[in-house]
Amino acid sequence: MDILNLDTVDLVAEIRSETISATQVMQLTLDRVAAVNPAHGAIVSMADPETCLSAARAMDAQADKSGALFGLPLAVKDLSNAQGFPTSMGSPAFPQTPAARDDLFVARMRAAGAVVIGKTNTPEFGLGSHTFNPVHGTTANAYDPTRSAGGSSGGAAVALATRMVAIADGSDMMGSLRNPAGWNNVYGMRPTWGLVPSEPLGDTFGQQLATNGPMARSPRDLALLLGVQSGPDPRQPHGLPAQDFLTQMQAHRVKGARIGYLGSWGLPMDAGILDITNNALRDMERLGVQVDVIDAPFDMGALWQSWTTLRHWAVCAGLFALYDNAKTRDMLKPAAVWEIENGLQLSAMDIHRASVIRSQWYARAAELFARYDALILPSAQVWPFDKTWVHPETIDGVAMDTYHRWMQIVIPAGLIGLPVVNLPIGFGATGLPAGVQMIGPKGSDARLLGYAQDWHMAYPYSQTAPAH
């Protein structure tokens, strides 16, 4: 049995049945991290190995092994608090002191039986879809260590792809559960906004761009982890009920589904991105899916205006205290300063106009979903680029005017909180992976997971592990 290649659902079943022990899984995990992580920089702030093994031995001694994640080693994205581990957010502005408590969704994963062994790397404050920072360095792509892992959940995606962990959490504002999943040949899911609560800090009414969510090597595992992470927090106003996604997804089959393909939506693309996407759509048709090519349903320029305004507002609100402190301002990377200073210039009417555009797009999307079960877009406009870059400066001869313009393809779903699953769709001419975003209407998470599982059973690209 190749234990580290098992899906999470199967691995937990083996531990519960005592066919293998949590201690065995932990030792294999630690050995794998020691062998692979130095070349990739995916997991940071690792716990002492004996501490990890001691926790696993305690799990084996338990009579009750019912937790959905029982005995699984887990590394938490370094934007969230995990008790006993530093939360650096990739920034030198924070001291490297252990967090005193878990964030809510981390506590839920621990309560389900996961054993936290470290953190996964992220860009500074999660800004940018390329995982590098001055605290922990750069995370290298699982399939080519000279290339970017994407981001901001780049560490999580690489840890999954290289079999250092069986399942991972991530977060997504601007594609952070989709772009790194596509670039590392795994599944990432941005759930319906409100399913996985954040922390009850600051404004819990107005900021609706970012969410936590699951990453995995199979849709079944996405469903398992989403079921653990989800559920309302009575301290926050917009929560949605917890669900058994692993059971519910089984009612949804992709055969007979009608999917709208949005192409490039007028955005520049690297050569080969649309080719591999079109190949995937032909494969979907072989599964009995009706694929319709549809025109751009909304003005992308207006979406970008709305997105950048609301993002400026959100980032400024979150980081202003660091910007306002002379001791920490100089520690912020230029992208963070740019977001904050643009946010400080916004008026109330600027934010209102941006939210009106968002509202109009939500209504237009509802019309599309009256005709289509899901929509498809590429997960990224470019292939994984040189990891020494800050970001791509051009795509197909078109200049990128911001640090994140090259990921514009992800904003339609993120702007209005729709659920999205990245589907791995194979490898390009240079051997690098790609993915597509399968987008559904609000609350269609179980349906998307069912469709994704059918795709996975027919085209199990994520089972192709990196060569090293």
> For residue 173, which amino acid is it?
M
Predicted TM-score of the model (pTM) = 0.98
Q: What local confidence, expressed as pLDDT, does residue 468 receive? A: 73
| Nearest C-alpha neighbor of 171 from the set 152, 145, 193 | 152
Residue 207 has a pLDDT of 87
User: What is the rounded distance in angstroms from the CA atom of residue 23 to the CA atom of residue 399?
Assistant: 51
Domains of the chain from N-terminus onward: 3-302+350-463 (3.90.1300.10)
Q: What are phi and psi of 195, to 5 degrees?
A: -70, -45
Q: Is the dihedral of CA 354, 360, 366, 371 positive or negative?
A: negative
**Hey, what are 247's tokens?**
């059971």
Q: Extract the tokens encoding 414.
A: 């993120």
DSSP symbols for 114-135: -EEEEEE--SGGG-SSS-EETT
Greatest distance between any 2 Cα atoms in the chain: 62
Regions of the chain short of the pLDDT cut 50: none
Helices (H), 287-441: 300-323, 326-329, 334-344, 348-369, 411-415
Instruction: Tell me the chain's radius of gyration from C-alpha atoms.
Output: 21
pLDDT in tens, 74-110: 999 999 999 999 999 999 999 899 999 999 999 999 9
139-172 tens-digit pLDDT? 999 999 999 999 999 999 999 999 999 999 999 9
